[in-house]
Structure 1
Amino acid sequence: MPRATSRSMSPSKQTTTPRATPAQVLQQLESLQATHQDKITIIKLSEPISTANQNPSSENSNLRTSDISNSSLDNPTPASLEADLLHYRELFAKLRFSYVEQVTKEKFIRAIVGDPPLIVTAQENADLEASNLVAKAALKSLKNEVNDMISELETRGKQLAAKYEQVQLNTATLRDLVQGGKIEELEGRISELKAAQAQHVDVADGDDDTTGRIMNLPLAKTALLVEERRAALRDLDRQLEQLERLAPRKEKEVARLQNEVNALETKRANVTAAAREAKRRKENLAQGGVEDDLEAKGRWYRASQVALSQMLGVTEES
């Protein structure tokens, strides 16, 4: 009870006392471990058995002990203790059977050779059987309760063992940090990072106010902003995937349109060349220039057609 009281009072002391340094915390942990070193371990429960086996009397010095017990007492481990427990359970079960058998035989013999002999009626047997059933039910209930208690104790023991190992590991880590001077190095590194972050935030505020505010956000808001940006990036990736699926069809359509455009470009070039040639000829005629062979052939063919039409009496239909 005093230990529980001291533990319950410890939070209030921590709230009122100033923050302790790592060296002070390490010193308190070491003093606490040195004070409660003999009270923490559970292996001390095996001291009566181990003492009896290690210091046998002269009368029982020749008795043989179990190899399992001897090996487990030298270097006790959870596996060896469990093996010892199973071994002792088997021994006690055999001892209980032998004891019940011996007591039953003794009672039976006394009942036969007694004067007068003990005679048990059927009603007494029935009453005894009924009382035995009640006692067996009560014993079974107690056994179940004990088994539940043992299971709870085993679970709590495993939890406490894990916590104890974690405390030991954390203590060793704290000892390394304090004795190796790593805490001062880490504090200096933190100061450098804070200064670099403040400088970066100032530069960002000078360049862009929005970027400066983003760089100066706390961790929770930064994580939320990162998640929003990731969601937007996933949306863009989904749209990009859809566009990539449409790309082959669009490429075919672009190729078809390009072929049509090439054909139209060729036709336009031909028409443009013909128009330029016709314009050149017209300008040449307007300026009184000499007609070229094509124009002369055209006029000759036209005159020949008119002469033949008059000679044959063929009228040209409009």
Structure 2
Amino acid sequence: MPRPVDYSSTLATLCAQQAAQPLSILALAEPITTSQQQRQQPQAASRGPPRPSDTLSASEADSSLALTPTTLAADLTHYKDLFSKLRFSYLEQVTKEKYLRSIVGDPPLLVSHGDNLALEQTLATMKHDLKAKKEDVDALVSAMEERARDVAQRYDAVNEGMGALERVPLEIEDLRREVERLNAEVAARRGVEGSSDPRMRMSLAETEEALAAQRERNAEVDRMIAELQGGMPARVRDVERMDRELAELERRRNEAARLAVEGRRRREEQGGRDEMEELGRWYRASEGVMRGLLGVEGTVG
């Protein structure tokens, strides 16, 4: 069984390590931020009582003191410009001083064309060496910047992890209490349901047997459904044929009803006499006469 993780001891160890080995960039930035804060305090004191607009300016000043890659890059560019101007001023001053000394010296310093060529060659060699050293320094600076970004990302990740270590144990305890409460509710519900439903008290083997029997019944029901679906087209055709026969019988019934209504109407119009009935009587009388005549003719012949 794995040992439980002690989050508090892990968090204490990380805090102790950060306190014992702080980042150098933070230590280097403390004098800068301290000097900026000290410069801002006399300015704030000389302004008198605070105004509503001072709150915004104070927040902007605090944000400007934050150490971010943007502010550090801006400071680096600013200092590079300052050092470039300082170097130019220094070279200009030194050149003027050497020139004046060469003129006013006793005896004056005379420089020939060969001396200038030798100095130019020496200067070219020095420039080449300086360029190589600058390239090495640029490569070293790039490597340091890459390492600084990596360290910053890891530092942020460690800080986030420490925040999680402070927050997660409390959340875990809350979740454990919630799980215990849910388990108690489930146990109580199972106890109530088990008293009324005997299936809740079955063992694993009995449950598997009941499940297998239920699956067999489901398979039988599926087979019956398949058979019914197979015989459904014939049943549908029979129903359609019966519908057609029923429609024909319905038509005949309607026709007979119409004829009956028509006959009743005619009888009422003729005062109770039925034209069809009289026509039938006439046909019967004519048939008797014809039979009598045929019988006489047969006897005579």
The TM-score by the shorter chain falls in which range?
0.3 to 0.5
Under a length normalisation based on structure 2, what TM-score does the superposition of the two structures give?
0.47
Q: TM-score under structure 1 normalisation?
A: 0.45
Structure showing greater Rg: 2
- Higher relative contact order (CA closer than 8 Å, sequence separation 6+): 2
